[in-house]
Amino acid sequence: MSAPAVLDDMATPGERRPCCADCRFRADDRHSLEQSIPGLVVFSSGFGASVADSRLCLIHDQLVAPRDSCRRFSPLR
C-alpha cells in the first residue's frame, strides 16, 4: 500500500503548496466516489456529512482532503 497523503500546514501565508485539491489524480466527481464503494449510496446524507470535501485519490485508492498532499502530486491540466 502507498504511503498516506499528509496534511501540510507549514505553508506561509500567500504561498500555495501542491495539494490534492489541485491534483489530477483526485477524482473530484462525487458520483465516481459513490460508484467505487459498493453500497455507499445507502448511507446518503449521513455519509455526505462525514466526507464533506474529501474525494477519492486514484493513486492511493483512499479518501483525501483538499489540503492533503503527497509526492505523486500532478497538477490539473
Do 51 and 63 contact (CB within 8 A), yes or no? yes
Q: Which of 39, 55, 75 is nearest to 5 (CA)?
A: 55
What confidence category does residue 23 fall into, taking pLDDT thresholds of 50, 70 and 90?
very high
Parse the chain into domains and list their residue ranges.
16-67
Question: Which DSSP state fits 37?
Answer: S
For the chain, the average pLDDT equals 76
Q: Residue 3: is its pLDDT beyond 80? A: no
pLDDT in tens, 46-74: 556 667 788 889 999 888 999 999 999 99
C-alpha cell at 14: 500567500
User: What distance in Å separates the CA atoms of residue 74 and residue 77, rounded to the nearest whole number?
Assistant: 9
Contacts 24+ apart (CB under 8 A), 34-41: none
Closest CA to 5 of 48, 54, 77, 76: 54
